[in-house]
Amino acid sequence: MMAMISGNNDSREQLENDVLRLLCSDLIPAATRVRLSGQLADYGFCRDLARVVYEEIAVLGEMPARMTNRGFPDFELNQFLGRREGMDDEIEKWFESLLELIEEHPTPRNKALGQSA
């Protein structure tokens, strides 16, 4: 039984890592990153490090507006994220991981009408 629990935790950690890779990827537009990270605002990450990384990624969504306010209207966040060549094929897996986490732990705004908590 203990191995099963550990296996589930390992699987959940892998899903979380995939989601963080997706949110860090320059393969998605910044606006999409903001919307996707918002879907996980109430999600309980299984490791503190993953939660902190997520919180920092979520703040990245504010960076373009902040940079404009500081005098850099042409700032592009994706210039600094660094493209990882050959990762295009993994983005689908990362999206699937995100969907699995959202379905596993829906936030109140993701629940269907009439669905209880």
Q: What is the pLDDT of residue 2?
A: 34
- The Cα–Cα gap between 93 and 15 comes to 9
DSSP 59: H
pLDDT for res 107: 57
* Residues 1/76, Cβ–Cβ less than 8 Å: no
The pLDDT value given to residue 86: 56
Q: Where are the domains of the chain?
A: 21-83
**Cα-to-chain-centroid distance, residue 97:** 10
The residues near 61 (Cβ < 8 Å, ≥ 6 apart) are: 30, 33, 34, 37
Q: What does each of the 117 residues of the chain score in pLDDT, given as a tens digit?
A: 333 344 577 889 999 999 998 888 877 887 888 888 888 988 999 999 999 999 988 887 788 888 889 999 988 776 766 555 556 677 788 888 888 888 877 655 444 434 444
Cα(74)–Cα(52) distance, integer angstroms: 28
CB 54 within 8 A of CB 40: yes
Tell me what pLDDT residue 3 has.
Answer: 37
Cβ 41 vs Cβ 12: under 8 Å: no
Whole-structure pTM value: 0.65
How much is the pLDDT for 81?
65
pLDDT at 22 (0 to 100): 87
